[in-house]
């Protein structure tokens, strides 16, 4: 086997490994609120994620992706030595896969974005030179560690407080749930539709303006609200369940809402994060086949299939550990609490996509779950679990960097 084939084979294997890690960690925590609140069973969550993540990655994953992840590295630095970029991208993929495996095994919900960024920064800064790194971009990502969870937490606090006042703390909570449920469905449908169009559909060349996106999102939201009204109307009141848990029938309404949020979040996540994560694979393939470093490169169909397949396998085989942490161990979730967390997380991602701030889905969702916990009082939070999650966030970037540096010099020694 010649060297070019070896590079492509290694890129494919490491890309699949990292996609598996995204499924086990990133996708798992996106589904965790639905599972933890018992709105969906683990099997149903895996099925929804498998279908919509794969569709998102394959249909809206993008035919063109930046070869240098989020412009973290200056491509011109590698123009004379393209082989260094190949070693670097292989090491970044392997390092990210290894760190996501460690984090998922321990049930830590970490950021895939920060893992790959840390890995790319590590090999570029040490293997090539500090001038190879765009430090301004790294600074924005560090800022997002604080901003995204705080924003999502504040939003989920406000949303869950509104649910308490309009529905839960009233004399007829079920009647009010049926009354206000369609409004929440409309809001969540609109937000998720905007999320999908701004973060997803731009990848397939549908360059819609903000105005067109808003109009289409409104139409979709009205249609989905109509479907939701029909489903809510079919809910049968169970008086016996009310005796055991006062809000049993109310939570059935929110369980319906969470089917919509889980499906759309999975599609949006697949269309954005998965395609970006397999970007290093495309970087290696394009550099190997052309013999030079290019800023933009076509993303082969097999790479999208690799990413889509990898995340499904990762979620199904190992995702339950992270689901358990985010869905059950931070605070006790019910469908109404899970709905508030998912809606605020989606809203935060939409706002970030308009402002251009690079944020983490993981940090956003965990912040949203914390916000719901705070709405019930600090005693509702498991502070030891929260502390462990924060520690895993802090060490993600240096861990990715350290592993990447180690693998970079290993590949350089093997092939250089």
Please, are residues 339 and 126 in contact by the beta-carbon 8 Å criterion? Answer: no
Check residue 64 and report its DSSP letter.
Answer: E
pLDDT beyond 80 at 59: no
Q: Which of 42-56, 88-102, 115-129, 210-224 has the highest mean pLDDT?
A: 88-102
The SS3 assignment for 285 reads: helix
**Which pTM does this prediction carry?**
0.81
DSSP string across 331-378: S---HHHHHHHHHHHHHHHHHHHHHT----HHHHHHHHHHHHHHHT-G
Tell me the pLDDT tens digit for each residue of 352-388.
766 666 677 778 888 888 888 888 777 777 888 888 8
Percent of the chain with pLDDT over 90: 17
Tokens of 23: 């499924």
The H or E element spanning position 43 is helix 42-59
Q: How far is CA 69 from CA 193, 199, 232, 273, 278, in A?
A: 26, 16, 43, 11, 10
Classify the C-alpha dihedral 196-198-202-208 as positive or negative: positive
* Mean predicted lDDT score pLDDT of the chain: 82
- What is the Cα–Cα distance from 321 to 356, expressed in whole angstroms? 31
Helical residues (DSSP H) of 239-328, grouped into ranges:
239-244, 248-269, 275-277, 279-290, 301-318, 320-324
Tell me the pLDDT tens digit for each residue of 254-305.
888 888 778 777 776 776 677 667 778 888 888 888 777 766 666 777 887 8
Q: Which residues of 384-404 are buried (b: 16+ CB within 10 A; e: fewer)?
A: ebbebbeebbeebbebbbbbb
Please, are residues 330 and 373 in contact by the beta-carbon 8 Å criterion? Answer: yes
Q: How far is CA 132 from CA 71, 75, 78, 81, 233, in A?
A: 11, 8, 9, 13, 59
Please, are residues 52 and 342 in contact by the beta-carbon 8 Å criterion? Answer: no
Long-range CB contacts (within 8 A, 24+) of 390-394: 392/103, 392/106, 392/108, 392/109, 392/110, 393/110, 393/111, 393/114, 393/145, 393/363
Tokens of 227: 């479907």
Check residue 247 and report its DSSP letter.
Answer: T
Check residue 234 and report its DSSP letter.
Answer: T
């Amino acid at each position: 086997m010649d060297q070019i084939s070896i590079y492509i084979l290694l890129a494919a294997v490491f890309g699949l490994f990292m996609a598996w890690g995204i499924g086990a960690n990133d996708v798992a925590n996106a589904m965790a609120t639905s599972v933890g609140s018992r709105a969906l069973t683990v099997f149903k969550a895996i099925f929804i994620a498998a279908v919509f993540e794969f569709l998102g990655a394959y249909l809206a994953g993008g035919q063109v992706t930046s070869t240098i992840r989020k412009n973290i590295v200056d491509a011109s630095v590698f123009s004379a030595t393209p082989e260094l970029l190949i070693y670097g991208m292989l090491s970044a993929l392997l390092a990210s896969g290894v760190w996501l495996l460690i984090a998922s095994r321990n049930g830590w919900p970490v950021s895939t974005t920060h893992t790959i960024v840390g890995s790319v920064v590590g090999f570029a800064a040490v293997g090539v030179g500090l001038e190879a790194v765009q430090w301004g971009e790294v600074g924005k990502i560090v800022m997002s560690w604080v901003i995204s969870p705080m924003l999502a937490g504040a939003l989920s606090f406000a949303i869950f407080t509104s649910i308490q006042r309009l529905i839960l703390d009233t004399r007829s909570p079920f009647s009010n749930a049926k009354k206000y449920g369609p409004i929440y469905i409309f809001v969540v449908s609109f937000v998720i539709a905007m999320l999908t169009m701004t973060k997803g559909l731009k990848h397939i060349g549908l360059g819609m303006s903000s105005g067109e996106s808003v109009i289409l999102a409104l139409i979709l939201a009205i249609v989905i609200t109509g479907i939701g009204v029909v489903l809510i109307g079919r809910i049968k009141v169970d008086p016996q369940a009310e005796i055991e848990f006062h809000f049993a029938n109310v939570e059935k309404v929110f369980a319906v809402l969470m089917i919509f949020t889980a499906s759309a979040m999975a599609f949006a996540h697949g269309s954005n994060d998965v395609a970006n994560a397999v970007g290093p694979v495309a970087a290696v393939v394009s550099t190997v086949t052309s013999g030079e470093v290019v800023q933009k490169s076509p993303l082969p169909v097999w790479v999208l299939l690799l990413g889509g397949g990898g995340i499904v396998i990762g979620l199904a085989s190992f995702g339950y550990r992270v689901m358990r942490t985010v869905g059950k161990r931070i605070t006790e979730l019910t469908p109404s609490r899970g709905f508030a967390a998912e809606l605020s997380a989606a809203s935060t991602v939409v706002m970030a996509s308009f402002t251009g701030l690079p944020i983490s889905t993981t940090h956003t969702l965990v912040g949203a779950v914390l916000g719901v916990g705070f709405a019930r009082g600090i005693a509702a939070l498991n502070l030891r679990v929260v502390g462990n999650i924060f520690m895993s966030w802090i060490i993600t970037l240096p861990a990715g960097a350290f592993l990447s540096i180690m693998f970079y010099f290993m590949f350089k020694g093997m092939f250089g």
